[in-house]
Amino acid sequence: MKNILGSSVKDLENLALNYGQAAFRGRQIYSWIYNYKNRSKSIDQIDVLPLNFRDQLKKEGFVFGELSLKEKYLAKDGTLKLLLNTRDNESVECVGIPTQKRLTACLSSQVGCPMDCKFCATGKEGLKRSLTASEILDQILFIENEMNHKVSNVVFMGMGEPLLNIDQLLLSIRSINEDFDISQRKVTVSTVAIPKKISKLSDMSFQILGKCQFTLAISLHASNQKIREAIIPSAHNYDIENIIEDCRKFVRETGRRVSFEYLLLSGVNDKLEHADELSNLIKGFQCHVNLIQYNQIDEVDFKQTPSGHAHLFQLRLSKKGINVSLRKSRGSDRNAACGQLRQNASIK
């Protein structure tokens, strides 16, 4: 099987030439693959191509897209969650999040996750494997086809730890930028933070992409090392002070601000003293705090911070000079927490 999803226009021109076709046939394939209005996902349905060329490609095992739709759930707020099957019978989740001005695709980078964050459903079953770039990109096609709209923004905040799959992550970002025509500035990579990987990410971005303009989002979720270790088991390998220092370096190298994801957990990390501690930790460089209201799951005891208190926490950070926003949960009536849909499907 030869997956051409993620191929550049030059790649596909060369493919056409290799089969005795004119280069423009490769451009036709390119236009078909990356046009969200073309719902068919099979080589033999690219009807702008000569039949004999289609037959050749199909016979040689060329495909664009390996995933298949298993389940989908549409929430009352319009958020669409998809459960997709891989060819080796694993499952991954992706989410389409619409607003009036944009359609954001929340993508997975791995099947499962090895990090085992205590508030997350994804890590309960551990890591199965990492996704290929084509499997990552296929999630965008499914979201666009199901929602009949072009994706405008991409966030790697689904299943998996992106920095444990850097090569395929960056190959997918190259295609998102150049083939799907989505600016790097509209791409966010969310990581729980892995030692030495933040520097590797910036270095490899310049090597593979020629630039590093996407947003790095650190799933911090704590104002000190003790709390972080209690909710993120892997945190004992990476002190919170060292994370912040590596983020400062990332800002210096790329010129891009860092976002800190902070999941508010009632009675755990949402006291005003935690807001003061957090502001002292991250002050003095280009960053932003994204406060998140928790989507509760049955498997853990964490509770959502009441909205009123969440706003007080936000206000406290703002008064300390921290750039901060409060993000409301989307799709909470339809298993919106990462990993819930996959878990529910596995026990049916």
What is the spatial distance between Cα 204 and Cα 211, in angstroms, rounded to a whole number? 9
Q: How big is the chain by its Cα radius of gyration, in Å?
A: 21
Residues 6+ apart with CB under 8 A from 284: none
161 is known as an active-site residue: no
Residues 6+ apart with CB under 8 A from 179: 6, 7, 8, 9, 30, 33, 34
Q: Is 321 exposed, middle or buried (0-12, 13-18, 19+ CB in 10 A)?
A: exposed
The answer to whether 152 touches 189, Cβ cutoff 8 Å, is no
What is the spatial distance between Cα 235 and Cα 194, in angstroms, rounded to a whole number? 9
Residue 10 amino acid letter? K
- Helix axis angle for 166-178 and 133-147, nearest 10°, is 40
What is the spatial distance between Cα 84 and Cα 110, in angstroms, rounded to a whole number? 12
What is the spatial distance between Cα 263 and Cα 278, in angstroms, rounded to a whole number? 13
93 is known as an active-site residue: yes
Q: Could you give phi then psi for residue 149, rounded to 5 degrees?
A: -155, 145
Q: Is 267 exposed, middle or buried (0-12, 13-18, 19+ CB in 10 A)?
A: exposed
Q: Which residue of the set 13, 66, 93, 161 is catalytic?
A: 93
Q: Which residue of the set 117, 212, 287, 338 is catalytic?
A: 338
Residues designated catalytic: 93, 338
